[in-house]
């Protein structure tokens, strides 16, 4: 029977990223990644539009994406792989005053975290993209930097090729949990809690 300290079910971008980050953060136990389809043909990772943007309403999401963009841009130094980030930006459009208000609120959150999002009036949108009909628009929000699309399969390859985790091609069909606990280290006193899987 094969054994590992950590078994990750699914080896596309999230599973492989977990394996890679665990090692980077000093985990020195054994890690096994079990993936049923190494072509990844039907994984979301392969089907994805591979877009990344900083335009969110919540600060945490903006920061998560900033980390992601930095990670993608640093791939050549880290792995010798260019993930081909195309910083074409996202353009979000509002066609009501209430929608414009939301774009203003989101913009305030984004620029607080150094996103370069700009707000554009309908005429500003029209100047930049003359083919767009702006007659029914009230406002646009555009991210000229750190937004666009990239090579998500290249990112997956980077994680897979640079993790020392054992890669297994198989389908996980059954999970039997014998014992599981997690420790809440940030509480005043570390406590153990049983994990319940529903
Ligand atoms: C059409 C589409 C467009 C998208 N566009 C974007 C976008 O522009 N920007 C963005 O950030 N996100 C986008 N997403 C979301 C993004 O692709 C996913 O959040 C991300 O790829 C999820 O990665 P994952 O590894 O969790 O899942 P997946 O990539 O789906 O990987 C799951 C893996 O688990 C394997 N697996 C499943 N069950 C088992 C089992 N029992 N045993 C063994 N292996 C198993 C599968 O074979 C698969 O390889 C998009 C998604 C889709 C579908």
Quote the ligand 1 centre to 18 CA distance (angstroms).
14
pLDDT of residue 175: 73
Q: Is 171 in the pocket of ligand 1 (CB under 6 A)?
A: yes
Quote the ligand 1 centre to 60 CA distance (angstroms).
22
pLDDT of residue 78: 97
Comparing C-alpha atoms, which of 58, 52, 137 is closest to residue 105? 58
Q: Is 34 in the pocket of ligand 1 (CB under 6 A)?
A: yes
Is the domain spanning 1-49+151-198 CATH 3.40.50.620? The answer is: no
pLDDT of residue 198: 41
The vertex-192 CA angle with 191 and 196, nearest 5°, equals 140
pLDDT of residue 174: 75
Residue 24 neighbours by CB under 8 Å, 6+ apart:
none
Q: Is 175 in the pocket of ligand 1 (CB under 6 A)?
A: no
Q: pLDDT tens digits, the chain, 198 residues: what are they?
A: 778 888 899 999 999 999 999 999 999 999 999 999 999 999 999 999 999 999 999 999 999 999 999 999 999 999 999 999 999 999 999 999 999 999 999 999 999 988 999 999 999 999 999 999 999 999 999 999 999 999 999 999 999 999 999 999 998 887 766 666 554 444 444 445 455 444
Quote the ligand 1 centre to 36 CA distance (angstroms).
13
Quote the ligand 1 centre to 44 CA distance (angstroms).
3
Q: Is 155 in the pocket of ligand 1 (CB under 6 A)?
A: no
Q: Is 153 in the pocket of ligand 1 (CB under 6 A)?
A: no
CATH 3.50.50.60 residue window(s) in the chain: 1-49+151-198
The architecture (CATH level 2) of 51-147 comes to 2-Layer Sandwich (3.30)
Residue 135 neighbours by CB under 8 Å, 6+ apart:
122
CA distances from 179 to 43, 105, 137, 196 (A): 30, 46, 57, 10
CATH 3.30.9.10 residue window(s) in the chain: 51-147
């Amino acid at each position: 029977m094969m054994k590992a300290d950590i078994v990750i079910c699914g080896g596309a971008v999230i599973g492989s990223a977990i394996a890679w980050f665990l090692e980077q953060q000093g985990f020195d136990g054994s890690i096994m990644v079990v993936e049923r389809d190494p072509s990844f043909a039907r994984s979301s990772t392969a089907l994805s539009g591979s877009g990344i943007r900083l335009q969110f309403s919540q600060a945490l999401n903006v920061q998560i994406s900033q980390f992601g963009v930095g990670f993608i841009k640093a791939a050549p130094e880290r792995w010798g792989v260019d993930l081909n980030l195309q910083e074409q930006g996202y353009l979000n459009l509002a066609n009501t005053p209430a929608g414009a208000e939301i774009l203003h609120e989101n913009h305030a959150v984004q620029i607080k975290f150094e996103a370069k999002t700009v707000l554009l009036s309908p005429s500003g949108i029209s100047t930049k993209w003359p083919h767009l009909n702006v007659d029914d628009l009230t406002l646009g929000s555009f991210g000229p930097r750190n937004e666009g699309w990239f090579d998500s399969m290249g990112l997956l390859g980077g994680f897979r090729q640079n993790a020392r985790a054992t890669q297994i091609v198989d389908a996980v069909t059954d999970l039997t949990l014998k014992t599981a606990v997690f420790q809440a280290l940030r509480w005043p006193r570390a406590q153990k809690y049983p994990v319940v899987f529903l």
